[in-house]
Protein backbone atom coordinates (compact mmCIF):
# COMPACT_ATOMS: atom_id res chain seq x y z
CA UNK A 1 0.00 0.00 0.00
CA UNK A 2 1.36 3.42 -0.97
CA UNK A 3 0.86 6.19 1.57
CA UNK A 4 1.41 9.84 0.69
CA UNK A 5 3.55 11.69 3.19
CA UNK A 6 1.75 14.94 2.41
CA UNK A 7 -1.36 15.77 0.39
CA UNK A 8 -0.74 16.74 -3.22
CA UNK A 9 -1.98 20.09 -4.48
CA UNK A 10 -2.58 18.49 -7.88
CA UNK A 11 -4.52 15.49 -6.70
CA UNK A 12 -5.68 13.26 -8.40
CA UNK A 13 -2.86 14.18 -10.81
CA UNK A 14 0.83 13.91 -10.10
CA UNK A 15 1.57 17.46 -11.26
CA UNK A 16 0.02 20.60 -12.70
CA UNK A 17 1.38 19.62 -16.13
CA UNK A 18 -0.47 16.27 -16.03
CA UNK A 19 -3.66 18.07 -14.98
CA UNK A 20 -3.37 20.45 -17.94
CA UNK A 21 -2.69 17.60 -20.38
CA UNK A 22 -5.85 15.87 -19.18
CA UNK A 23 -7.85 19.09 -19.47
CA UNK A 24 -6.58 19.56 -23.02
CA UNK A 25 -7.74 16.07 -23.93
CA UNK A 26 -11.25 16.90 -22.67
CA UNK A 27 -11.28 20.18 -24.62
CA UNK A 28 -10.01 18.37 -27.72
CA UNK A 29 -12.89 15.89 -27.34
CA UNK A 30 -10.54 12.93 -27.02
CA UNK A 31 -12.50 11.93 -23.92
CA UNK A 32 -16.27 11.62 -23.92
CA UNK A 33 -18.89 10.56 -21.45
CA UNK A 34 -21.30 8.21 -23.12
CA UNK A 35 -24.87 7.70 -22.06
CA UNK A 36 -27.21 4.97 -23.19
CA UNK A 37 -29.77 5.90 -25.81
CA UNK A 38 -33.24 5.81 -24.26
CA UNK A 39 -36.26 5.63 -26.46
CA UNK A 40 -39.34 7.22 -24.96
CA UNK A 41 -42.14 4.79 -24.30
CA UNK A 42 -44.40 7.73 -23.51
CA UNK A 43 -43.55 10.85 -25.57
CA UNK A 44 -45.47 13.05 -23.12
CA UNK A 45 -42.75 12.42 -20.52
CA UNK A 46 -40.29 14.44 -22.61
CA UNK A 47 -42.62 17.33 -23.48
CA UNK A 48 -42.03 20.51 -21.49
Global confidence as pTM:
0.51
CA separation, residue 14 to residues 9, 30, 35, 40 (Å)? 9, 20, 29, 43
pLDDT of residue 23: 94
Contact 39, 33 (CB under 8 A): no
Q: Give every residue of the chain whose pLDDT is below 50, as ranges.
A: none
Amino acid sequence: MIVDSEPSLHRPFCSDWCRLVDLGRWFGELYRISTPVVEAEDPELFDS
